[in-house]
């Protein structure tokens, strides 16, 4: 949404100060990073919780420990993005305005990210129904 044909924002430092200059986009990226890190109340937390619970229920303790350690390591990198978003920029970057359709889609995704993190049962029921309908389902 921020890249232009002349400038591709492909480095982390390109997003420095985004939280101040474009609060809506900064908050969206921050929320998505928190979800990837598995921080409640996002759907990313629920996903990690169910994966870790399934590993524990199956007795896959080594896999569980590796998964938890990997999640902690990954959280460091995701939170680094958050720090960059809310650091004062060294220079003024000229960012183009976000298209309205993209902003609406981003808003819907942010709401879903939190709502499904707080109340995941509709998504869980849907996936259970899909797994039973699927040929050779579980």
The answer to whether residues 90 and 16 touch, using CB atoms and an 8 Å cutoff, is: yes
Predicted pLDDT at 137:
55
Burial of 28 (0-12, 13-18, 19+ CB in 10 A): buried
Least confident piece of the model among 11-25, 76-90, 124-138: 124-138
69-116: pLDDT as tens digits: 999 999 999 999 999 999 987 766 666 677 889 889 999 999 999 999
Q: Name the residue with higher pLDDT: 95 or 137.
A: 95
The answer to whether residues 48 and 71 touch, using CB atoms and an 8 Å cutoff, is: yes
Single pTM value for the model: 0.82
d(CA 76, CA 120): 26
Q: What is the dihedral of CA 100, 103, 107, 112, to 10 degrees?
A: 100
Domain boundaries, the chain: 12-133
Structure tokens belonging to residue 6: 């002349």
Q: Name the residue with higher pLDDT: 18 or 109.
A: 109
The Cβ of residue 42 has, within 10 Å, a number of other Cβ atoms equal to 24
d(CA 81, CA 23): 15
The answer to whether residues 32 and 113 touch, using CB atoms and an 8 Å cutoff, is: yes
Q: Where are the beta strands (DSSP E) in the chain?
A: none
Residue 113 neighbours by CB under 8 Å, 6+ apart: 31, 32, 35, 42, 43, 44
């Amino acid at each position: 949404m921020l890249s232009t044909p002349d400038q591709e924002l492909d480095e982390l430092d390109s997003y420095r100060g985004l939280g101040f200059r474009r609060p809506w986009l900064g908050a969206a990226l921050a929320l998505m990073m928190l979800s990837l890190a598995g921080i409640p109340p996002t759907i990313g937390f629920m996903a990690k919780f169910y994966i870790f619970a399934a590993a524990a229920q199956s007795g896959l303790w080594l896999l569980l420990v590796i998964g938890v350690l990997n999640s902690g390591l990954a959280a460091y990198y995701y939170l680094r993005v958050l720090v960059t978003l809310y650091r004062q920029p060294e220079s003024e970057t000229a960012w183009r305005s976000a298209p309205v359709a993209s902003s609406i889609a981003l808003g819907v995704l942010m709401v879903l990210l939190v709502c499904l993190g707080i109340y995941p049962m509709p998504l869980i029921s849907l996936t259970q129904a899909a797994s039973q309908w699927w040929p050779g389902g579980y």
